[in-house]
A and B are shown apart, each in its own frame.
Chain A
């Protein structure tokens, strides 16, 4: 169904490894934070990325934004390969992709007023006229539901939700087409979460934004995402449209994640409990990375890595239960 829509972002076999070095600079290990992830985002859609802490979902978001060099693979933004550009060459693309951060308390410089923080964004992109800058920033504040008098206030004078609004204003100020939302609501009160998600929704409608929405909260993902990718230990193990994924989860890990979600009024489903710990990404299991905790693991899972298969249109699963 998405084939006819414009591709905004595409990653091809993206890998991000962090090397662990000892005091003398000798490499002693490699953390495979993101391992061979390919995904495609179309204009105006929200792609939800779920997984437990440490599975590499934030690293994936930051790799796409090229906040650090990529180990291998490609990132395509609006038809341009940006994976090997230098910081200077990247600058024009920085206007097209932005990020909203998890913690609204550290994402704003405590010594700068909201106005200064926002104006700095335009200064970086070469807007020299002060009045133009202020006008644009005031407009961004209005768009995110803040008042003009908030312009000269410091971050500590705001609540968490208001700060997150400032963070959103900073991200939309350069008119991006693609925004990485890195757990944008998980640090907020539940009542505020809904407000911020509605704001993100409204902005998406108005500006045709594309979101990569990173979260560990299944109900938030269910509410906001059009398509969902499930990550485990650096791998994308399942990807499907939201409805399809929530009604017909195929990967054993997705099934376990969903069975842990509480639902009001619903008959309590059987809870699938995963045993064991998340393996260290320093020494990921051979074969299928999930086999150490998978209730259906067989001998072949330990031997051969599984490739994603398309079960039904748009529904990809990397699990040998569905043929390998």
Chain B
């Protein structure tokens, strides 16, 4: 696609994209810079400094064993944003593959989409907990289970887009020329449906962060002491009435990140798909 002057102008005019991408960019920047800001790591305990309110020494206060909250939140963002990003990539790849073949082959469609339907009929958190109960906790397993939960969403969007795209006569022309299914799917349909998939994936990125936080808050996600936004809230909950900052600040981090990603997703939709907004 050509990146013309008009397109640049449309991006600049789109305030959601601007704000969304600035927020997402800042979060990713902090996530990457964390080891340089806090070279000592997230596990340093100062027992004398337990449950200190935000101050100059500890910007966001300390937790019940005297660890610096800001430091733990930033290291936690590596886990939370990392899980979200990994889930986004995995669901996009698998969702796209499933959607493409399901949209093109009726036989595949009947089987695969029924499996997707049954996965979607279970509440997502419940399904993720069940999967983690089978596999055990840990970052890798959180990524796998959350990906399984959200892949059907991408597959459905991709399949719907394939169904429209394959009705176009240029696909028929390719069939009349003897083009193979893989050429038609990957070189002609996939590029044309990528925008709708990317939009969906940007929302899944945000949802996956919330899901990981919920799982960790429930104690089945990322195990302590490895910090994630979810398990920081989980730990802070016990002392919530003495140290409000242990619950409020992680929640703000989650909220801002999700807000930024959702803005970006909305903006992308406006950009790729002007008719539908």
Contacts of A91 in B (CB 8 A): 178
Contacts of A125 in B (CB 8 A): 177-178
* Chain A nearest CB, measured from B161 CB (Å): 14
Nearest chain A residue, comparing its CB with the CB of B178? A94
**What size tier do the contact residues of chain A reach?**
20 to 34
For A124, give its contact among B168, B170, B179, B192 (CB under 8 Å): B179
Please determine whether A124 and B169 come into contact, CB atoms closer than 8 angstroms: no
- Report the Cα distance A99→B170, complex, angstroms: 11
Against A, the Cβ 8 Å flags (1 = close, 0 = not) of B155-176 are 0000000000000111011111
Interface centre among B177, B179, B188, B191 (most CB of A within 10 A): B177
- Report the Cα distance A284→B159, complex, angstroms: 35
Contacts of A208 in B (CB 8 A): none
Q: List residues of A (242-297) whose CB comes within 8 Å of B's CBs.
A: none
For B169, give its contact among A98, A103, A120 (CB under 8 Å): A103
Please determine whether B169 and A109 come into contact, CB atoms closer than 8 angstroms: no
Contacts of B169 in A (CB 8 A): 101-103, 106-107
* Chain A nearest CB, measured from B217 CB (Å): 41
Q: List residues of B (175-225) whose CB comes within 8 Å of A's CBs.
A: 175-180, 183, 187-188, 191-192
- Report the Cα distance A99→B178, complex, angstroms: 12
For B176, give its contact among A94, A103, A110, A120 (CB under 8 Å): A94
Is B8 positioned at the interface, with any CB of A under 8 Å from its CB? no
- Report the Cα distance A125→B192, complex, angstroms: 23
Please determine whether A99 and B176 come into contact, CB atoms closer than 8 angstroms: yes
For B188, give its contact among A94, A101, A109 (CB under 8 Å): A109
Is A121 positioned at the interface, with any CB of B under 8 Å from its CB? yes
Against B, the Cβ 8 Å flags (1 = close, 0 = not) of A86-116 are 0100110011011101110011111110000
* Chain B nearest CB, measured from A102 CB (Å): 8
Contacts of A170 in B (CB 8 A): 173, 177
17 more A-B residue pairs beyond the given contacts A106-B168, A120-B179, with a C-beta to C-beta distance below 8 A? A65-B176, A87-B178, A90-B178, A98-B176, A99-B172, A101-B173, A102-B169, A106-B169, A107-B168, A109-B168, A120-B174, A120-B187, A124-B174, A124-B177, A125-B178, A154-B2, A170-B177
Give the top 8 A-B pairs by smallest Cβ distance, nearest first: A94-B178, A107-B169, A91-B178, A101-B169, A109-B170, A106-B169, A106-B168, A99-B176
A-B contact pairs, 11 of them (CB 8 A): A91-B178, A95-B178, A97-B176, A98-B177, A109-B170, A111-B1, A120-B179, A121-B177, A154-B2, A167-B173, A174-B177
